[in-house]
Amino acid sequence: MKKILILTVTAGNAHNACARGMKSELERGGNARVKIVDLLKSYSSKRNAWIASGGYCFAVSRLPKLYNAFYRHYRKADPNRRYSCPPQRTVLSVVNELLQEILSFQPDVIFCTHFYGAIALTDLKLVYPLPCKVIAASLDYVNSPFWEAGIGVDYLTVPNEDFMDTYLKLGYKRNQLLPVGIPVDARTLQPAEKAGARRELGLDETAFTVAVMFGGGSWGGGFGIFKGLVKALKGRNAQIILINGKDKKSYKRVQKMKFEDGITVLNVGYTDNVPLYLSAADVVLNKCGGGSSAESLNMSLPMLITEKLAAQEKYNLNYLKQKGAALSFKNIKELKEQIIALMENRELLEKTSQCCAALKTNATAELANFILSQPSVDYGALLYSFIGHEDNPRAKKTVKRALREADKRERKKK
């Protein structure tokens, strides 16, 4: 039985959703034992864990201009500074416990859903001959900052062939890159037929239906956009499926609202069955996270996206608009124009759906099969080198020293 260690980080919802989806797919045939570890929550300080989760949500919702400026700045960073980039300090705080976990669990493969995991393992491999394969997944339609520091992984998944060159420029080799797509919950790959999904949810089988996803509570303008959608649909027969995520405040506000005749609102709150609700929709109104976008693409579901986004989501949106899979709006007036166009012009709706289908992937199943095809490994030699120190491998100082040396070598290349 293969042993798989999945390293995730709570920074938004996509990384954890990817981890859960991959675990489910890997365990489907009963041939794998899978363990998920939240890298920062398990091995780092509460401060570092909060910065990645609560701090991220605060920045994108309350300080978007500042967040976006930092994002754009670090996308232009010199790849040769990979061993001294900002995340390295946080990564050093986890290497000791992470190495201890590896020695204890002895995985055949480690799968990372966030660049922190890829960087931590790249750093450990500067010093220790880890026998397991390391595979990481990029979850956006853009090469986000700091992935240049994860080049020690054996493989990195990218959304498709369009992104190969951008990662080659960061220092990856072609044989490291797997253009399989973004691995989201495998259940989205075979969506329920619309009428059947609507019957299951108690909705009208024929009415135009819009799914709205608030994005885990970090979408600051989500509630205002929902109200704008309701106003835009005034006087028409339509249904709205509102998935609030962890935004309990908005859920309660919507519960108190009254809607005009002809408009039905299904106020969902939090759900772990997003595919069912998306299956019932004609259009999804969302911010443009890589994971949720991949879910929509896999269901051939056209996207209508606000342009008030975090930087990585703006890059995602630009790519999806170029491919014809998404429309966008800057304000409520444009939202009304776009939603009415999709509602009344079935040709536009179908064309956009076909563009989504062209980007559809089977990433979760393909990646799971690839992971399970990797050889089982023997930790005997590595464990022998840690006799007497298995419970405290003392990796931090050793890795820190190796990073300094690696940084000097990279700078000399310039």
Q: Kind and range of the H or E element at 5?
A: strand 2-8
Which parts of 245-384 fold into alpha helices (H)?
248-255, 274-279, 290-298, 311-322, 332-344, 346-358, 363-372, 380-384
20 pLDDT tier (thresholds 50, 70, 90): very high
Give the pLDDT score at 247: 80
Q: DSSP string spanning 25-46? A: HHTTTS-EEEEEEEHHHHHS-H
With 90 as the cut, is the pLDDT of residue 394 above it?
A: no
- Percent over 90 (pLDDT), the chain: 82
pLDDT at position 104, please? 94
Mean pLDDT of 341-360: 96
Q: How confident is the model at residue 216 (pLDDT cuts 50, 70, 90)?
A: low
99-119 per-position pLDDT tens digit: 999 999 999 999 999 999 999
pLDDT in tens, 131-181: 999 999 999 999 999 999 999 999 999 999 999 999 999 999 999 999 999
What pLDDT does residue 393 have?
Answer: 82
Q: Which amino acid is at 90?
A: T
- Amino acid 275 reads P
Whether the pLDDT of residue 190 is over 60: the answer is no
The answer to whether 115 and 143 have CB atoms below 8 angstroms apart is: no
- Kindly tell me if the per-residue pLDDT of 249 is higher than 50: yes
Which has the minimum average pLDDT: 226-235, 265-274, 358-367?
265-274
**283-286 sheet: strands from edge to edge:** 263-269, 238-243, 208-213, 283-286, 303-306, 326-329
Residue 362, CA distances (Å) to 227, 273, 295, 351, 373 in order = 35, 19, 11, 21, 17
At 220, the pLDDT band (50, 70, 90 cuts) reads: low
pLDDT of residue 62: 87
Residue 215 pLDDT class (50, 70, 90 cuts): low
pLDDT at 185 over 80: no
CA distance 182 to 364: 8
Q: What is the pTM of this model?
A: 0.95
Identify the band that residue 186 occupies on the pLDDT scale cut at 50, 70 and 90.
low
Q: Is the pLDDT of residue 414 over 70?
A: no
Largest CA distance in the chain: 74
What does pLDDT average to over the chain?
A: 93
pLDDT, one tens digit per residue, over 52-103 is: 999 998 898 889 999 999 999 999 999 999 999 999 999 999 999 999 999 9
CA 162 – CA 54 distance, rounded (Å): 32
Torsion sign over Cα 101, 107, 112, 118 = positive
Work out the average pLDDT over 213-231.
78
Phi and psi (nearest 5°) for 108? -80, -30
- What are the two backbone dihedrals, phi and then psi, of residue 37, each rounded to the nearest 5 degrees? -130, 125
Higher per-residue pLDDT: 151 or 260 = 151
Q: Where residue 12 falls among pLDDT bands split at 50, 70, 90?
A: confident
CA-to-CA distance for 58 and 42, rounded, in angstroms?
A: 22
21-38: pLDDT as tens digits:
999 999 998 999 999 999
Q: Ranked by mean pLDDT, which of 69-83, 180-194, 233-247 comes out on top?
A: 69-83
Distance between CA atoms of residues 306 and 331, nearest Å? 8
What per-residue confidence (pLDDT) applies to 189?
A: 40
Residues 293-310, mean pLDDT to the nearest whole number: 93
Say how many C-beta atoms besides its own lie within 10 A of residue 2's C-beta. Answer: 18
Mean pLDDT within 301-316: 95
Provide the Cα torsion 56, 138, 16, 269; round to 10°.
70
* pLDDT single digits (tens) 360-390: 999 999 999 999 999 999 999 999 988 877 6
Return the top range by mean pLDDT from 136-150, 187-201, 391-405: 136-150
pLDDT greater at residue 186 or residue 243: 243
